[in-house]
Amino acid sequence: MSIVEKHIIYQKQSVREALINLDQLASDAILFVASEDLKLVGSLTDGDLRRGFIKGLGFEDSILSFIQGNPKFIYEDEYDPTKIENFKKSNLKIIPVLSRGGKIVDILNFRTKSALIPADAVLMAGGEGKRLRPLTEKTPKPLLMVGEKPIIEYNIDRLINFGIKKINLSINYLGEQLVDYFKDGSSKGIEIKYVKEDKPLGTIGSVLLVESFYNDDIIVMNSDLLTNIDFSDFFKTYKESNADMAVATTSYHVDVPYAVLEVGDDGTAVKSLKEKPRYTYYSNAGIYIMKKKLLKMIPENEFYDITDLMDRVLEMNLKLITYPINGYWLDVGKHEDFKKAQEDIKHIKL
């Protein structure tokens, strides 16, 4: 039973059925009353039933006599982090997600989801992981276990936590194992589809193999990362900047153990002196958000890297922004990275 089915009761059902359903929901005990075509009519809790009984209503009365008629909700295509934060501050734990036609299409439970980002996702999971052999001789790198889960599952679960429901996996090397593991995604309450390269298409070329995207924005990321990036803040920054593309970055520090002199154009005159300075650089973290319209800039059936697309975006005078990851990030590319991941996962919640 899906989360929507668990929380819906139709307006013609009985009060007794409502009590049974609320009891089964336990700590998530709230029902959303719907018409036969799934349009939201109201909400119903144990407290609403109790107050109705005190007023003299009984089991033979319609549940419409008990409900709250104007429950809070959010539209499926509405991205308003402030509104969601206000819901949380008001101690609302579960709200329905509606289509613009008023039908209930999803349920947002803040215990299991922290946001509702209107974007599709593509995870690049086709690499051979040669640097991690022999571990990857019979297992694709995204399915290597870190703690209790495969690397890629941490990323999928994190995307789900931020409300992403449509995820595409770009597979190649031992890709059938990924299909066998995740199947269609229904066990996680999402939709997972797969595309497979017939030949290497680079780090972004295979995105064109996806038949269609539901949303106007696409999150693209490498599947062999471990990170606790705040996708909600990342997406918010991208939208508020009115960017065409955003790239997440990690900081890389270089400490110079000597005094550094800055000299003029003549190569001799000293302009400034810095004692043992630290320089900070930002590196590509392998996580991107892009407008769907940028797909038209990617050549079909050709090897094309994400850096090629970023260069093209800049050439076209479109807006490309960076988003520094302030939390944890690790690219599991080598044996020492894999060993570090096994230790880090004991202390970091992803």
Q: What is the pLDDT of residues 7-59, one digit of tens each?
A: 999 999 999 999 999 999 988 899 999 999 999 999 999 999 999 999 999 99
Q: What angle do CA 212, 242, 313 make, to 5 degrees?
A: 65
Please compute the mean of the pLDDT values over residues 151-175 and round it to a whole number.
93
Question: Is 327 exposed, middle or buried, given 0-12, 13-18 or 19+ CB atoms closer than 10 A?
Answer: exposed
User: Which one, of 193, 222, 117, lies nearest residue 160 by Cα?
Assistant: 117
Please compute the mean of the pLDDT values over residues 312-324 and round it to a whole number.
96
8 Å CB contact between 309 and 298: yes
Domains of the chain and CATH, by start: 3-109 (3.10.580.10), 120-244+285-344 (3.90.550.10)
Mean pLDDT score of the chain, rounded to an integer? Answer: 90
Cis ω on the peptide bond leading into residue 150 (within 30° of 0)?
A: no
Read off the pLDDT band of 185 (50, 70, 90). very high
At residue 257, the pLDDT reads 80
> How much of the chain, in percent, has pLDDT values that exceed 70?
99
Buried-exposed string 210-228: b where 16+ CB fall within 10 A, e elsewhere: beebebebbbbbbbbbbbe
User: Which one, of 318, 136, 146, lies nearest residue 242 by Cα?
Assistant: 318
Q: Which residues, other chains included, contact 262 with Cβ-Cβ below 8 Å and sequence gap of 6+?
A: 270, 271, 272, 273, 274
SS3 of 139, please? coil
Residues 2, 250: Cα–Cα separation, whole Å:
37
Q: Please state, as a whole number, how many other Cβ atoms lie within 10 Å of the Cβ of residue 253.
A: 8
261: which DSSP letter?
E
Task: Report the half-sphere exposure of 99 (CA within 13 A, side-chain side).
Answer: 7
> How much of the chain, in percent, has pLDDT values that exceed 90?
65
Residues 144, 137: Cα–Cα separation, whole Å:
11
Read off the pLDDT band of 262 (50, 70, 90). confident
Residue appearing with tokens 């202390």: 347
At residue 189, the pLDDT reads 85
152: which DSSP letter?
H
49: which DSSP letter?
H
SS3 of 349, please? coil
State if pTM tops 0.85: no
Please compute the mean of the pLDDT values over residues 281-293 and round it to a whole number.
92
| pLDDT reading at 223 higher than 90 | yes
- Most confident by average pLDDT, 76-90, 112-126, 213-227: 213-227
Please compute the mean of the pLDDT values over residues 245-274 and round it to a whole number.
82
For 40, the enclosing helix (H) or strand (E) is strand 40-44
Read off the pLDDT band of 246 (50, 70, 90). very high
Read off the pLDDT band of 1 (50, 70, 90). low
Read off the pLDDT band of 129 (50, 70, 90). confident
In degrees and rounded to multiples of 5, residue 225 shows phi and psi of -105, 150
Residues 283, 88: Cα–Cα separation, whole Å:
34
